[in-house]
Amino acid sequence: ETGVTQTPRHLVMGMTNKKSLKCEQHLGHNAMYWYKQSAKKPLELMFVYNFKEQTENNSVPSRFSPECPNSSHLFLHLHTLQPEDSALYLCASSQDRQAYGYTFGSGTRLTVV
């Protein structure tokens, strides 16, 4: 365990399903991030939250909807996904937005069928 816990570890969903990914950290960090990692591609930043406020949406389609109820929890709500959305979704946290030593979770391996 890295201090950042993601659930579920694996998820298979149909294109019409709605599901949520959960991320939790008890490191006392104030910034949290969602990244997407596809095969043969760099980690792509999706969203940034700093002190529960969204500070970055990296042109992510609206079928991905983040939620940050408090500094310890981050969700990614998924609906009407496409097969090309299949990837490893990684959550990370850092002390604040200007701290560049991120702690990553182990990710959720998402398969859209």
Provide the binding-site residues for another protein, judged by CB under 8 A. 2, 4, 31, 33, 35, 40-45, 48, 50, 55-56, 90, 92, 97-98, 100-107
Preceding omega of 8 cis (within 30 degrees of 0): yes
Of 12 and 15, CB closest to another protein: 12
As a whole number of angstroms, the distance between CA 113 and CA 21 comes to 17
Residue 71 belongs to what H/E stretch? none
Of 15 and 58, CB closest to another protein: 58
Closest distance of CB 42 from another protein, Å: 4
